[in-house]
């Protein structure tokens, strides 16, 4: 029988997600005549900064924009500190990294929507789902 994955999201007693860095630039919009159009570009990366007993710190970085570079480009970095109800291991963090990053991505989506609303008068809201490229 396969080992059931422990969902550590339910074991989070307290979390603190802080904006560590952001670079947002408005790019000159030009018409595209090649017929390919503009594609959304989201690139995510993360780093497990540290784990100590029942606390873990994770950095989530993202670059959000379009390809070709039109409209805007945003580079953003969040640091999440999670306090769990039990001692946590690096293996448990890695096993549940997608859940933890998606938890942080909801805050990132809110920040990006606020910034783009102030830049363009309309918010750009991206789904809070982190897809890591191998």
pLDDT tens digit sequence for 91-114: 999 999 999 999 999 999 999 999
Q: Is residue 67 part of a domain?
A: no
Q: Is residue 29 part of a domain?
A: no
Q: Is residue 110 part of a domain?
A: yes
Residues 109, 126 contacting (CB under 8 angstroms): yes
Q: Is residue 3 part of a domain?
A: no
**What letter would DSSP give residue 2?**
P
- Asked whether the predicted pLDDT for residue 134 surpasses 80, the reply is no
Instruction: Quote the number of domains for the chain.
Output: 1
Cα 43 from Cα 6, distance rounded (Å): 27
pLDDT tens digit sequence for 53-65: 999 999 999 999 8
Residues 27, 69 contacting (CB under 8 angstroms): yes
Q: Is residue 49 part of a domain?
A: yes
**Full domain range(s) for residue 82:** 9-19+45-60+77-120
Which pLDDT belongs to residue 41?
A: 86
Q: Is residue 96 part of a domain?
A: yes
* Phi, psi of 25, deg, nearest 5: -130, 135
Residues 20, 59 contacting (CB under 8 angstroms): yes
Cα Rg for the chain, rounded, in angstroms?
17
Cβ neighbours of 116 (radius 10 Å): 21
């Amino acid at each position: 029988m396969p080992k059931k994955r422990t969902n550590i999201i339910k074991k989070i007693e307290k979390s603190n997600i802080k904006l560590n860095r952001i670079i947002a630039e408005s790019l000159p919009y030009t018409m595209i005549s090649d017929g390919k159009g503009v594609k959304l570009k989201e690139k995510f990366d993360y780093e497990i900064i540290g784990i100590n007993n029942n606390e873990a710190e994770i950095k989530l970085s993202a670059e959000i924009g379009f390809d070709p570079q039109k409209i805007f480009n945003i580079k953003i970095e969040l640091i999440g500190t999670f306090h769990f109800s039990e001692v946590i291991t690096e293996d448990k963090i890695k096993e549940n990294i997608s859940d933890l990053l998606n938890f942080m991505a909801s805050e990132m989506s809110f920040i990006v929507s606020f910034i783009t609303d102030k830049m363009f008068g309309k918010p750009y809201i991206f789904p809070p789902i982190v897809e890591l490229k191998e």
